[in-house]
Amino acid sequence: MSEEFAVSSQLTQEIAEWDREFQQIFDPEDPLSSDFPDEATEQRWRERGRQLAGRLAEELGPHVRVTYFKEVVQQGAESSEQHDD
């Protein structure tokens, strides 16, 4: 990700670590049973993701839309091009 989108290696590493936390609890055979050990742990994980999304938005700049779950962290620039179908 860092080379393709000009994201710092530090942020790329932190996002990978954050993802590994989820992968440790994720059960691909039964995704609905995948759960954090308690609500506080899940809340910390979600807040960390929100912070990482904010940092990603800062690094990518204002022309890129960044969302975290369904929350828009950064809207991004609207394209002025019109497409006729």
User: What pLDDT does 76 receive?
Assistant: 81
Spatial contact of 43 and 73, defined as CB atoms under 8 Å apart:
no
84 or 75: which carries more pLDDT confidence?
75
User: What pLDDT does 84 receive?
Assistant: 43
User: What pLDDT does 81 receive?
Assistant: 44
Q: What CA–CA distance (Å, rounded) separates 26 from 32?
A: 9
Q: What is the pLDDT of residues 2-57, one digit of tens each?
A: 556 689 999 999 999 999 999 999 999 999 999 999 999 999 999 999 999 999 99
Q: Which helix or strand (DSSP H or E) is residue 66 part of?
A: strand 66-68
> Confidence class of residue 73 from pLDDT cuts 50, 70 and 90?
confident
The residues spanned by each domain of the chain are 2-73
